[in-house]
Homo-oligomer: A and B are copies of this chain.
Amino acid sequence: MKKRFLSIGLVLLTTSNVLLAKDIFIEDDKSLKAAIKKAVAGDNLILKNGTYNDMNIVFYGEGTEDKPITLKAETPGEVFIEGLSNLQIGGSYLNVEGLHFRNGYTPSKVVVSFKIDDERVAYNSKFTNNVIEEFTQKDREIRDQWIALWGQHNEISNNFIAGKSSPGPTIMVELKGNEHIHNHHQITNNYFGHKPRQGGPAGETIQVGSSYTSMAPSYTNIENNLFEYNNGEVEIISSKSNHNQFKNNVFFESEGSLVLRHGNYSNIDGNIFIGDGENEHMGGIRVINTGHWITNNYFYKLKGEQFRAPIAVMNGIPYSPLNRYNQVTDVVVAYNTWVETATPWHFSVGSNVEQSDVLPPSEIRSARPDRTVFANNLIYNSEKAEYPIHSYDEVDGIKFVNNVSNHANKSSVGEEGIAKQNLSMTALSDYLMVPGLSREAFYHGFGFDKITTDLLGNERANGNRVGAIASDANSGEALFDRENFGPSWFSTAQEAREASVIKASNSAELIAAVAAAQSGDVVELTAAHYTIDQPIEINKQILIKSSDAKQKATLNVTAANTAFLMLPKGNLHLDAVVMQGNGQQNAISTLDKYMSKAYDVAITNSELSHFDNVLDVSRGSFADTILVENSTFTDLNNGFMLNKETQNRGTYNVEHLTITNSSFDSVEGMIVDYHRGGYDESTIGGNLVFKNNVVTNSGKDQAQNLLIKNHGIVNVTLKGNTFKNNPVELVAVLWGEKDQKPVDNKVVESGEITIVQNLKLDLMY
C-alpha cells in the first residue's frame, strides 16, 4: 500500500489562547483519559508502541481545520488495540491514526463510533491509516457495527478492514437527525479485505442510511476503495439514502453487488467490477428507485443473474412501502463497458407476479422500470454472445440508443438499440481491455453534458468513444493497483509457507500432532488403529490422512460426545480413514457457543459407521464449505444435521454442502437436514449439491418421512443418485420457483421426489 502518511506540525501555538499544542505520550487508559481531558487544538496524543487491552476510548475535543487534535500510534502498526475495546469520537477536527484493532471485539454495539452521545457528535474528524482485522464478536449472532458514521464531514480513509463475521454492516452511515444529513462523509482509499460468507442477512460492507431515513440527502462519497472477496451478502454496499456518490471503486471477485437499495439520485461513476468468469454470485450494480446516473463503469467476466446480474434493473412494488421496492424511473446508464460478460443487462429483476398466492400484494413487484436510458454503452465478448438482455417482464420503459456489441443481438431492441460492430480490443494488463476506435456517433441525452471524462480520467472532449474508455490507454496501464488502498504500513501479502507433514503412529501422537501443527499442515496416520478417547479440537487447517490410501487407518471413537470438535476457523479434512463410533457420539461437532468465525470440513475416501450423526452443529455456528466425496456412511442415526438456525430470519448453518459419489446405508433418520427459514433475499441462500450418491435402507425412524430435507435452501442440485429400499414417503421436496428439479435419479421403493413451486416462508420485515 502506498506510502501516504500525514505529517502534522507538532508544537504549535493556538490562535485563540496561549496553550501550547504539544505531543503527549500515552501509555495506558488512565493517561489517555487525562490527556484527552486537557487536549487543545493541535495536540498529538501519542499511544506508545505496545498492546492495549480492554480500552474504551472516549475521544472528545475541539480541534480546528489547521490544528486538529490527533490520537495516533507512536509507530503506525505497532500499537494494538485488543480485548473488549472500542472508540467513540465526538467534537470537531479529531483524527485517529495508525492503530491496529485485533484479537477482540467491541463490548458495545460499535467498534468506532463518530458520536459519543446526542450532545457530542463528530464533525470534520478522521479515522485514517488504521487496521481493523477480525475484530469480530465471539458470538456470531450478536449484531454490531465496526464503524458508525454520525455527524458531518467525517473521513474514513486508507484503512484496512477485514474479517467481520457477525451481522451488522462493517461501516454504517447514520442519518437519524438533521445533524447527520448533508454529511459529505468521505470513505476513500480503504482496502476492504476478505469478508467471509455469513449465512444470514445484514452482512453489508457499507450501508448508507436505512429505509427509515432513506429520504435524507446524505451526500456520502465512497471513492477509490478496494472491495476484495467481500462475500458477506448480496449487498456489498447498500445505498439507502439520496445523493450518494460511488466513484472509482474496485470490486474484486466479491460475491455481491453495489445496490441502490433505497434513496435516489446516486452517482455511480468509474467503478470496476471483476469476476472470475465462473462464480455466479459475483454481481455488479443493482438498481432500484429513481434518478441514478451510472457512467464509465467497467465490468469484467461476470456471470451473475437476477439480483446478482452485472446490471440488475428491478421491478418495483406499486406504491411500495417505505422499506420495500420503489419503481425504477429516470435512471441513466451510459458510457459503460462490459467485457467477457455474455448477458450484462437484466431488466425487471425480482418480478414475482406469479407468486401472488404466497405473498401479500405489498410484496408483488409488478411496476416495470420507466423513463430509463441505456446509451453509448459497449459490450465485448470474445465468444458468441447474442443475448445481451435478459428480462423477467416486458421491457417497455427503457430507451436503448447507440449501444454497441461485437455480436449481433437477438433481443427485441434491435440494431438501433444495440448495434453490431466489429471491435478490436487490446488487453493492456490483467483485466483491462481497451477498444480501438468505434462508432463516432453519440447519443446526447438530457444531462449528458455532465459526462465529461472517462474511466481513466481522460477528457471525452478530446475524442470520444462509446463505453467506459474513451481513448487509447498506455500500454501496460493497470486497471487498478492494490498498493493504492489501505494504510501505508500494512500489507496483506503473506509469505508462502510449505505445509509440514507430521507422522503419527499411535493415538497419543495423533493428539499431539494436531495440537502442534500449524495451519495448513498434514497429519499422516502410519498405524492401522487409533483410539480417540477425547474430542480433538480443530481451530486451524488440518489434513488427517492415512499414509497409504489403500490401507486406511481406523479411528475407534470412545470419546463421550464427539470425535472432532470444530472451533472458529477450524478446517478439518479427513482423507482415507475409517472411523467407527459406538452409535451414541457424533463424528464431528461444533462448539456449542462462541463459534465466532466460519469453519470447514472435508471427508474424502473414508468410511464412517456407528455414529449418532456424522456432523451435528450448534445454532450460531456456520460452515463455509462441507465437502464429502467417495465416502461411505453406515449405521447412523443421522447424516449431516445443519438445521439449527430455525429462527426464520434468513440465517442458515452452512453455505456449501456438497456430497458426491458416496453411499449411505442404514441411516435411521435423515441423510441431510439443511434449513434456511424466512423470506430473505440478502444471502446466497445456501447451496446443496447431492450428486451420484447411493442411499439404501435408510429413513426408517423419523417423524418426517423424508430422506433429504432442504427447506428454504436456494440452490439445490439433486442429480444422478440412487435411492433404494428406503421406507419413506418422500426422498426430497424441491423448490420450483428456484428452478430446482431432480435430474437422472433412480428411485426404487423409496417414496418420491416432489416439487413445490412457491414455498411459503415467513416475511421478515
List residues of A whose CB falls within 8 A of some B CB: 176-179, 181, 211, 213, 215-217, 242, 264-265, 289-291, 319-324, 326, 329-330, 332, 362, 371, 446-447, 765
Contact = CB atoms under 8 A, between A and B. Distances in A.
Given A215-B289, A215-B290, A178 B321 contact: no
A218 to B, nearest CB: 12
Given A215-B264, A264-B215, A178 B362 contact: no
A215 to B, nearest CB: 5
Contact of A323 (B178, B290, B319): B319
A323 B320 CA distance: 8
Contacts of A765: 319
Contacts of A319: 211, 321-324, 765
A592 to B, nearest CB: 37
A225 B181 CA distance: 31
Given A179-B446, A319-B322, 17 more contacts: A176-B329, A176-B371, A177-B371, A177-B446, A178-B371, A178-B446, A181-B291, A181-B330, A213-B290, A213-B329, A215-B215, A215-B264, A215-B290, A217-B265, A319-B324, A321-B362, A322-B326
Could you say which of A322, A323, A765 has the most chain B C-beta atoms within 10 Å of its C-beta? A322
Contacts of A323: 319
A208 to B, nearest CB: 16
A215 B329 CA distance: 11
Contacts of A176: 329, 371
A24 to B, nearest CB: 31
Contacts of A320: 321-322
State how many copies of this chain the complex holds: 2
Contacts of A330: 177-178, 181
A178 B447 contact: yes
A201 B337 CA distance: 49
Contacts of A177: 330, 371, 446
A264 B216 CA distance: 8
Contacts of A446: 177-179
Contacts of A179: 446
A216 B292 CA distance: 11
Contacts of A217: 217, 242, 265
Nearest to A179: B446
A176 B446 CA distance: 13
Q: State the 6 A-B residue pairs at the shortest beta-carbon distance, nearest first.
A: A319-B321, A319-B322, A215-B264, A319-B323, A179-B446, A178-B330
Nearest to A243: B217
Contacts of A216: 264, 290-291
A694 B242 CA distance: 63
A710 B765 CA distance: 41
Given A321-B362, A371-B176, A215 B181 contact: no
Nearest to A290: B215
Nearest to A214: B215
Contacts of A362: 321, 362
Contacts of A242: 215, 217
Nearest to A262: B215
Contacts of A211: 319
A765 B319 CA distance: 10
Contacts of A215: 215, 242, 264, 289-291, 326
A294 to B, nearest CB: 13
9 contacts: A178-B332, A178-B447, A215-B326, A319-B321, A319-B322, A319-B324, A320-B322, A321-B322, A362-B362
A319 B322 CA distance: 5
A178 B445 CA distance: 10
A178 B211 CA distance: 23
A443 to B, nearest CB: 14
Contacts of A321: 319-322, 362
A179 B242 CA distance: 18
Nearest to A263: B215
Nearest to A176: B371
A175 to B, nearest CB: 9
Contacts of A332: 178
A69 to B, nearest CB: 22
A446 B121 CA distance: 11
A329 B216 CA distance: 11
Nearest to A362: B362
A389 to B, nearest CB: 23
A78 B329 CA distance: 45
Nearest to A332: B178
A362 B289 CA distance: 21
A553 to B, nearest CB: 59
Contacts of A290: 213, 215-216
A738 to B, nearest CB: 27
Given A321-B319, A321-B321, A321-B362, A178 B326 contact: no
A320 B362 CA distance: 11
A330 B175 CA distance: 10
A446 B151 CA distance: 11
A448 to B, nearest CB: 11
Could you say which of A289, A324, A330 has the most chain B C-beta atoms within 10 Å of its C-beta? A330
Contact of A178 (B181, B289, B291, B324): B291
Nearest to A181: B291
A265 B241 CA distance: 14
A482 B290 CA distance: 41
A332 B216 CA distance: 15
Contacts of A178: 291, 330, 332, 371, 446-447
